[in-house]
Amino acid sequence: MKAITRTQYGNADVLQIKDLAQPIPKDNEALVRVHSTTVNRTDCGILTGKPFLIRFFTGLRKPSSPIPGTDFAGEIAAIGKAVKDFKVGDKVWGLNDEGLGSHAEYMTIKADKIVSIPDNFSYDEVVACAEGAHYAYNFINKVTLNSGDKVLVNGATGAIGSAALQILKSMGVYVTAVGNTKNMELIKSLGADKVYNYEKEDFTEIDNEKYHFVFDAAGKSSFGKCKKLLLAKGAYISSELGPNNENLYLPLITRLKGNKRVIFPIPTNCKRSLLYIKNLIEKGQFRAVIDRHYTPEQIKEAYEYVQSGQKTGNVILNF
Ligand SMILES: NC(=O)c1ccc[n+]([C@@H]2O[C@H](COP(=O)([O-])OP(=O)(O)OC[C@H]3O[C@@H](n4cnc5c(N)ncnc54)[C@H](OP(=O)(O)O)[C@@H]3O)[C@@H](O)[C@H]2O)c1
């Protein structure tokens, strides 16, 4: 099978395409013919081994899995003898943010981590509703929100931000979204109630709304800047560690002060996220945001584009 491989941490230059033997599923696993996967920011972290923290999950000195890739959508090609819930030919998708080896034509995965694809949706559509949506769902879950509450999403055009915007709107939340000029129409079409263009204005200077939650999905702002926009007891979450890794220790300090707080969320349970998103997809409340498609031969360009931090939504890799 054709697979993307690497033997060390580094930039896209360490990636190579190789012909490898197809993996064989264990009793509780399925062999999946991968049709679509994404190149996402988690893949970039696993590629470079940065931040260092990530290596405790993916291999300290070198990557424990030679094949990168964290999500997939495809067709079951074989099953282990203990697998009862799926059969050969089923269309499935999945995600594991510690790595799955999905940047290959075939991969194996435990059957209890797989979700069936909703009827009438393509591999590309569902795979673009996985990684960013998982983070967005987990982060939103850390805050208690009711219909009519107000949330600001900074970076509402990324994989996480575009998913967060849609999840929040499905909950009946009022959302202010921040993006750039080229994506103003996209953000409005995803349901934003109010929009700021970060290329023209600084929302932290001009917005006079007060929010239950500020979600910095791009990690480009900071608690210090956003604090004045929060209601008492309001929460700030960033997808990045922030200046001087402050988002690691601010949760403790702000909790002791007992007012506006920073939360450092650790996402868990990818399957639960996919099932939640699948339900929204089926109800027409969540849709894929796809930027570009790449082939395996273009893998370096794909990673370099995603590493630039300029993608809109998701970048698809088709095998
Ligand atoms: N902790 C983790 O394990 C983990 C996992 C995944 C992602 N992340 C982090 O989460 C962040 C978002 O990930 P993602 O996949 O959603 O990212 P992404 O798809 O790369 O998108 C980030 C978005 O941020 C927007 N942006 C860039 N500069 C901005 C600014 N100054 N103000 C507001 N928005 C800005 C970009 O829009 P334009 O194109 O308009 O500039 C882009 O749409 C990244 O920083 C990533 O490293 C962390």
Query: Virtual CA dihedral for 166, 172, 174, 180, nearest 10 degrees?
Result: 10
Q: Is the CB of 254 under 6 A from ligand 1?
A: no
Task: Read off the pLDDT of each residue in 295-308 and give the average, rounded to a whole number.
Answer: 98
Provide mean pLDDT across the span 163-187. Answer: 97
Please report the pLDDT score of residue 65 as a whole number.
Answer: 92
Can you give the pLDDT at residue 258? Answer: 86
Question: Is 163 in the same domain as 101?
Answer: no
Instruction: Give per-residue pLDDT as tens, 198-250.
Output: 999 999 999 999 999 999 999 999 999 999 999 999 999 999 999 999 999 99
Mean pLDDT of 148-157: 98
Kindly state whether residues 148 and 235 are assigned to the same domain: yes
Same-domain pairing of 85 and 188: no
233 and 307 assigned to the same domain: no
- Model confidence over 22-54: pLDDT tens digits? 999 999 999 999 999 999 999 999 999 999 989
**How far apart are the C-alpha atoms of 287 and 83, rounded to whole Å?**
30
> Residue 179's domain spans which residues?
132-262
146 & 95 share domain: no
Average pLDDT over residues 273-290: 98
Q: How confident is the model at residue 15 (pLDDT cuts 50, 70, 90)?
A: very high
The enclosing domain of 307 has a CATH number of: 3.90.180.10
- In a shared domain, residues 163 and 254: yes
With 90 as the cut, is the pLDDT of residue 137 above it?
yes
Name the token pair of 198.
Answer: 């970060």
Structural domain includes residue 268 = no
**pLDDT computed for residue 125 by the predictor:** 97
From the CB of residue 308, how many other CB atoms can be counted at a distance below 10 Å? 9
Ligand 1 nearest atom to the CA of residue 306, by list position: 20
Nearest residue (by CA) to ligand 1, atom 22, is: 158
Do 95 and 114 have their domain in common?
A: yes
Q: pLDDT digits over 95-136, tens only? A: 999 999 999 999 999 999 999 999 999 999 999 999 999 999
DSSP states of 278-301 as a string?
HHHHHTTS----EEEEE-GGGHHH
In this structure, the answer to whether residues 138 and 257 fall within a common structural domain is yes
* Residue 86 falls inside a structural domain: yes
Q: Does residue 204 have its Cβ closer than 6 Å to ligand 1?
A: no
Ligand 1 atom showing the smallest separation from residue 239 Cα = 10
CATH number, domain of 168, equals 3.40.50.720
Task: Decide: 160 in ligand 1 pocket, CB within 6 A.
Answer: yes
Is 251 a domain residue?
A: yes
Number of domains comprising the chain: 2
The radius of gyration of the chain from alpha carbons, rounded to an integer in Å, stands at 20
Residues 85 and 99 occupy one common structural domain: yes
d(CA 210, CA 191): 19
Shared-domain flag, residues 100 and 139: no
The DSSP symbol for 72 reads E
Count of alpha carbons within 13 Å of 218, Cβ hemisphere only? Answer: 21
**pLDDT at res. 11:** 97
Q: Is the CB of 219 under 6 A from ligand 1?
A: yes
User: What residues contact 197, with CB distance under 8 A and at least 6 apart?
Assistant: 178, 179, 180, 181, 184
Residue type, 21: A
271 domain-assigned: no
Atom number of ligand 1 nearest to Cα 198 = 32
- Do 102 and 58 reside in the same domain of the chain? yes
Same domain, 162 and 235: yes
